[in-house]
Amino acid sequence: MSHGQRALDGRRYGANGDSAEPGEGGSDASEVEVGLPGMSLERLLTAVPGYVTSAEATGTLGLPAAVGQHCPWIVMLPTHRLCRRVAGELIDAALTQAEVGILARIAIAPWRPLIESIAADPFAAERERLLYEVYILSQPDWGDAEKRERIADYRQRHAARSQQQLQMRVGQALESKSPASKPSDAAQPDADP
């Protein structure tokens, strides 16, 4: 079950992803910190795409039953802007935890848009993976084993491609030696790819 699915299935989850239903010693996701001060699991999950079947959505999200007759799946995809905002909050929380001083923050400031953009990429990349998985799961002629195999193969290729893109972007940033040289999406922080 994906993080997005876990966040939407009507149950609560602890920081390690285990069920934390009331009475099981768990706490609300809005209270669970992810190892960084000021960053809750609930906020982090807003940047993670997820899906539910229409049957799950009618119960969990309170949608009308008629939705299920027309929509087998409901997908929640964060915008690139939201991914960047959450990435920025993660960076702030990490800087706070590391007790980075004002002079270091000033030195980092010109690079901040590029760093946020690179940090947002993994969140944004999950949108494509999720849509492919929903597509595979909705194929009525394929058995469960074939669906699992296709999803596993795609995840492996997707992870390799994402890692390669990350290495390329970081390499380009290090070669430029200047934040103003050409930060790819940093000039368009609100644009969705």
- The Cα–Cα gap between 106 and 104 comes to 5
What is the pLDDT, as a whole number, of residue 20?
37
Give the number of other Cβ atoms within 10 Å of residue 16's Cβ: 7
| Residue 27 pLDDT | 45
Which DSSP category does 48 fall into? S
The continuous run of DSSP H or E covering 75 comes out as strand 73-76
pTM for the model: 0.63
| Residue-level pLDDT at 1 | 46
DSSP single-letter state for residue 39: -
Query: Which pLDDT value is given to residue 182?
Result: 45
Q: Which residue has the tokens 């193969």?
A: 153
Q: Where are the domains of the chain?
A: 1-76, 79-193
Phi-psi region of 63 (alpha: psi -120 to 50; beta: other; left: phi over 0): beta
The pLDDT of residue 25 is: 41
Whose tokens are 């394929």? That residue is 142
The helix (run of H) or strand (run of E) holding residue 52 is strand 50-53
Taking 70 as the pLDDT cut, the residues of the chain under it are 1-34, 177-193
3-state helix, strand, coil in the chain (%, to 5): 55, 5, 35
Q: What single-letter amino acid sits at 80? A: H
Residue 152 is predicted with a pLDDT of 94
pLDDT at residue 151, as a whole number: 93
